[in-house]
Amino acid sequence: MKRGFTLLEMIIVVSVLSILFLLTVPNIQKVMEIVDEKGCDALVKVVDSAVLQYKLDYGEYPLGIQDLVNAGLISEKQTECSNGKQVFLDEGKAYAQ
C-alpha cells in the first residue's frame, strides 16, 4: 500500500502557509517604508555636510542643490531619495520633500 498525503492534509498545509504569508507581507512592507525613510534622512545629512563643505570652499552657501552637484560634492543621484522625495536646499539647510 502506497503512503502519501491526503487531500485534506494538503489543504490544511496550504491554508497554514497562506495565513503565515498574509501575516508577514504587511510587516515586510512596513519595514521597507521605514528603511526608505531612514535612508532619506541619511541622504539629507550627507547633503548638509556637502553644504558645509561648499561654504568652506566658496565662502558662501549654495543657492541650490545643483550648485553642490556642479562643485562635485554630491552626485546627481544624491538629489533624490530612494522613496522618490526630492532633496532641496532652503537657507543653507537640506530638506527632503
The angle at the Cα of 35, spanning 48 to 44, to the nearest 5 degrees, equals: 10
**Inter-residue contact 88 to 63 (CB < 8 Å):** no
pLDDT, tens digit (0-9, with 9 covering 90-100), for 43-89:
999 999 999 999 999 999 999 999 999 999 999 999 999 888 999 99
Q: What is the pLDDT of residues 1-38, one digit of tens each?
A: 677 788 999 999 999 999 999 999 888 889 888 998 99
29, part of any domain: no
Per the structure, the count of domains in the chain is 1
2 falls within a domain: no
Cut 0.85: pTM above it: no
Question: Is 8 a member of any domain?
Answer: no
Residue 72 inside a domain? The answer is yes
Residue 59 lies in a domain: yes
**Domain that residue 82 falls in:** 38-97
Residue 4 counted as domain residue? no
Helix (H) or strand (E) holding 93: strand 93-96
Q: Would residue 22 count as lying in a domain? A: no
